Amino acid sequence: MPLTIAEKILARHAGLETVEAGQLVICALDLVMANDVTGPPSIKEFEKIGRPVFDAEKIALIPDHFQPAKDIKSADLAKIMREFARKNKITHYYEQGRVGIEHVILPEFGIVAPGMLIIGADSHTCTYGAVNAFATGVGTTDLAVGLATGKAWFKVPESINVHLTGKKPKNICGKDVILTLIGKIGVDGALYKALEFTGDGVAELSMTDRLTISNMAIEAGAKAGLFPFDKVAEMYVARRVKKTFEPVNADENAKYCSTVEINLSELKPVVALPHLPENVKPVDELGEIKINQVVIGSCTNGRLEDLGIAAGILRGRKVHNDVRCIIIPGSQEIYKEAIRCHWIDIFIDAGCVVSCPTCGPCLGGYMGILSAGERCVSTTNRNFRGRMGHVDSEVYLASPFVAAASAVLGKIATPEEVIGYEN
């Protein structure tokens, strides 16, 4: 029976020859992950079970949402994580100074790998589908059981074939691809389904593009966002993953519940208007929308390539007087490399503030909270009402190209309005 990537990975981890959409399976897990928001309640439930952790090397605890601690409550949450990690000798626990945003550092450190099955108490755990893993977010109780048993139950999802063709224009990146897709199918268009990306256009996408796209699969309701194991993925994991792994590609006649066609050559820079990621429009159709803040970073767009895009636009320019621009590298290593590339100098000279790695403003935590009536162009993944501050503020989701250009002009702008691509 021909299988999709999702079906193959779930079948393998359930110890079965084959599975089909809708089937309930219990699977062995390769990694269980939590952060400083979701970890403490999961730890509380885990302790009620009264068992040791299933495998200290297959658990990752990343205090990244409110860290460095912004207040006493966030310090307490981090303390719970720290003490649990030390007590149980958790291998992949990353304290401040070594930590980065969870969905940036786990691929960067080679902790996630092709063919793995991963659960995380964070909805954007689906990021790891970019490296050919089945990864999905779960709730507190499921995570607690995963910590104790190393197992979780799944309903095998149907898969949507997102067929990519064409060549990616210079002003387009993964954020435009995923926003365009969500604009087509809606925030519930892939509810409890897997998005599987196929076609010649996949080779056009860098790993940064893929990580961004898989990260936001959940914004279409998807259980996972999966890429094939190709030359791009092989080169990425070869320099990072030290353990053995088994990549998975779909069978030629795998069954998909539907197909969505996207021609990369036709894409334009887009933004998602408030207050849903599906409210997508091309930037050149918006008219003048003045802004107060720009955020470039997060688990969606805080990677080195993202910072390089922003630096290319901000080099020799200034952030508009009416705009605050916050740059957040996704990890310490990305921060260091940005320093070596002199991008941090560019950001500071332009009038940006550069933060240590943190989720911070993405979830309205800190480092960029909006007041009533303020507008922010952000490379984060959600723009729900009140997501980044006051319920009467507005968040516009965009690529690093659009975010940096908007910071310079003080309004939502295309990169062409600031810098051409004649070179």
* Burial category of 14 from C-beta neighbours within 10 Å (exposed 0-12, middle 13-18, buried 19 and up): buried
Question: What is the arithmetic mean of pLDDT over 126-151?
Answer: 96
Question: What is the arithmetic mean of pLDDT over 122-148?
Answer: 95
pLDDT for 131 equals 97
Residue type (1 letter), 209: D
Got the DSSP string for 355-387?
Answer: PPS--GGGGTSSSSPBPTT-EEEESSS---TTT
Task: Work out the number of other CB atoms within 10 angstroms of the CB of residue 292.
Answer: 18
pLDDT for 423 equals 33
Could you give the percent of the chain with pLDDT greater than 70? 99
Give pTM, 2 decimals.
0.94
CA of residue 24 relative to chain centroid, distance: 27
pLDDT for 72 equals 93
3-state class (DSSP) for residue 397: strand
Tell me: pLDDT of 373 over 70: yes
pLDDT for 420 equals 64
Q: Which two tokens stand for residue 115?
A: 């063919």
- Confidence band, pLDDT 50/70/90 cuts, at residue 382: confident
Could you give the percent of the chain with pLDDT greater than 90? 84
Kind and range of the H or E run holding 118: strand 117-120
Domains and CATH numbers, the chain: 5-241+256-264 (3.30.499.10), 272-417 (3.30.499.10)
Question: What is the arithmetic mean of pLDDT over 112-137?
Answer: 96
Question: What is the arithmetic mean of pLDDT over 199-206?
Answer: 96
Q: Please report, for the chain, how many H helices and E strands are present, in that order.
A: 13, 18
Question: What is the arithmetic mean of pLDDT over 61-66?
Answer: 88
Tell me: pLDDT of 422 over 70: no
Tell me: pLDDT of 244 over 70: yes
pLDDT for 69 equals 83
Cβ 225 vs Cβ 217: under 8 Å = yes
Residue-averaged pLDDT of the chain: 93
Tell me: pLDDT of 364 over 80: no
- Confidence band, pLDDT 50/70/90 cuts, at residue 341: very high
How far apart are the C-alpha atoms of 353 and 80, rounded to whole Å?
A: 30
pLDDT for 47 equals 92
